Amino acid sequence: MKPKKSANELLSNGIIDKFKTRGFDGYYCRNCDEAVELIKTLIPDNSSVAWGGSETLKETGIFEMLKSGSYNLLDRSTAKTPEEQREMYAKHVMSDVFLMSSNAITMDGELVNIDGNGNRVACLITGPKSVIVVAGINKISYDINEAVNRIRNIAAPPNAIRLDCNTPCKVLGKCGDCMSDDCMCCHLVVTRTSRIKGRIKIILINETLGY
């Protein structure tokens, strides 16, 4: 294993120890293929499965695995009207499993997320029986302040371009601390611990994934 990969593995294992103290279940995977195989073991057949918007989930191949499995997929892209979208979000809250990434993870084991509509962080906080968080090694930040800076200035600009949001970060390539109608940073959520032990499962992958 290359030195950088070895160092990332050591860092990940240390953070997983921190997860345990916070009531999270933590897992380390060397690559996306390992992560997909692990997720298969974490989602029982016939489970209702929902997910938040995530480039990481796309890049790992998780969606292909879900489509080939025996699951009830709650795909929000199938909701066409505002009322259908509202009904779909209600189903997400009541799902058996909710999949997402995290915008950042601190070295002390905290999850840091910024959201526009808030549906993703809402399901992280409460509702689904199980939440599986999938994150590449690039999401690790030293502390909460660094995590927020990373999200606003590294993750948000390419996301704004991808989603065609009318925000300063789309134009400047960095945060403009905006109050735009298209603002993606309406909700800042730091998840310190889980009152329901093991409800939140976090998979760290030794690859660069997402934004």
Q: How far is Cα 16 from Cα 27, in angstroms, rounded to an integer?
A: 7
CA angle 156, 157, 161 (to 5 degrees): 115
Amino acid identity for residue 180 in this structure: S
**Cβ atoms of 145 and 112 closer than 8 Å:** no
- From first to last of the 211 residues of the chain, give the pLDDT tens digit: 799 999 999 999 999 999 999 999 999 999 999 999 999 999 999 999 999 989 999 999 999 999 999 999 999 889 889 999 999 999 999 999 999 999 999 999 999 999 998 999 999 999 999 999 999 999 999 999 999 999 999 999 999 999 899 999 999 999 999 999 999 999 999 999 999 999 999 999 999 999 9
Report the relative pairing of strands 200-205 and 130-136 from DSSP bridges: parallel
151: phi > 0 → left, psi -120 to 50 → alpha, else beta; which? alpha
